[in-house]
Chains A and B, each alone.
Chain A
Amino acid sequence: DAKTTQPPSMDCAEGRAANLPCNHSTISGNEYVYWYRQIHSQGPQYIIHGLKNNETNEMASLIITEDRKSSTLILPHATLRDTAVYYCIVRVANDYKLSFGAGTTVTVRA
């Protein structure tokens, strides 16, 4: 059973913010929201994660709704190198395992 729902694809203009939505309506209180991306055929790369508060790091911002049923990953100034598949993953706090869905293919256009 898929724990997250993401749009299959989206386009973004270079230099603009990219807002990637994710629905996780069945998330439990001990589950985190993780985001990874996979550029071309490389191994996935960690971006950011959060539990209930909004988070920001050097790569992106993560906005989690108050009811925790959805979240948005924000790439503030998208570049061509941000073209990738982005995965939203719900992970139990005490579990190493990550379950990857199909993700969102983001294409940044010049």
Chain B
Amino acid sequence: NAGVTQTPKFQVLKTGQSMTLQCAQDMNHEYMSWYRQDPGMGLRLIHYSVGAGITDQGEVPNGYNVSRSTTEDFPLRLLSAAPSQTSVYFCASSYRLGQTNTGELFFGEGSRLTVL
């Protein structure tokens, strides 16, 4: 199993550009989510999905879109990048609640985005 795979690992954008951060998992996880982490701070939830075709907003959704057309993939779209979106982005997934004993979230390695 590859686990949770994020691409790209690094990206530099100019203000106003758009881009998509990719997240894929091969564990047949029902739940997928995106977090952002600013320097010296904890992770904040952007969007999440509890299954294909179902998405919902987290704590900081403005400026981001998501979709979940398959169980495996959960891309995060920045529509018009702003310097305030400079951050490290983490994708995380988990099994259906109750399916395992731990309910743990599995995280990707992160995507480091800089917006100039």
Judge if A98 is at the interface, Cβ distance under 8 Å. yes
Which residues of the other chain, B, contact A34 by a CB distance below 8 angstroms? 104
Would A41 and B88 be within 8 Å (CB), given that A46-B104, A96-B50, A96-B97 are in contact?
A: yes
Beta-carbon contacts under 8 Å, A83-101 to B: 87, 91, 93-94, 96-101
Closest to A57 in B: B102
Contact A103 B48 (CB under 8 A): no
Are B107 and A99 in contact (CB-based, < 8 A)? no
Bound together, the chains give a CA A89 to CA B48 distance in angstroms of: 18
State the CA gap A95–B84 with chains docked (Å). 29
Contact A98 B105 (CB under 8 A): yes
Answer whether residue A43 sits at the interface, using C-beta atoms and an 8 A cutoff: yes
Q: A69–B100 Cα gap in the complex (Å)?
A: 26
Q: CA of A17 to CA of B33 in the docked complex: distance in angstroms?
A: 34
The answer to whether B31 has its CB under 8 Å from any CB of chain A is yes
- Across the interface, which residues of A come within 8 angstroms of B106, CB to CB? 46
Known A-B contacts A49-B102, A101-B42, A102-B41; A43 and B109 likewise in contact (beta carbons under 8 Å): yes
Q: How far is the CA of A96 from the CA of B40 in the complex (A)?
A: 24
Tally chain A residues at the interface, Cβ within 8 Å. Answer: 22
Question: Contacts A96-B97, A97-B48 hold; do A43 and B42 have CB atoms under 8 A apart?
Answer: no
Can you name the residue of chain B whose Cβ is closest to the Cβ of A44? B107
Any chain A CB within 8 A of the CB of B44? yes
Flag whether B61 is at the interface (Cβ < 8 A).
Answer: no
Which residues from B are CB-within-8-Å of A32? 103
A34, A44, A94, A101 — which one has the most chain B CB atoms within 10 A of its CB? Answer: A44
With CB as the reference atom, state the residue of chain A lying closest to B101. Answer: A49
In the complex, which residue of chain B has the Cβ closest to the Cβ of A91?
Answer: B103
The answer to whether B88 touches A87 (Cβ under 8 A) is: no
Contacts of A100 in B (CB 8 A): 35, 42-44
Do B110 and A42 touch across chains, with their CB atoms under 8 A apart? yes
Can you pick out 8 interface pairs between chain A and chain B where the beta carbons lie within 8 Å of each other? Answer: A32-B103, A43-B4, A43-B108, A46-B105, A97-B45, A97-B48, A99-B45, A99-B59
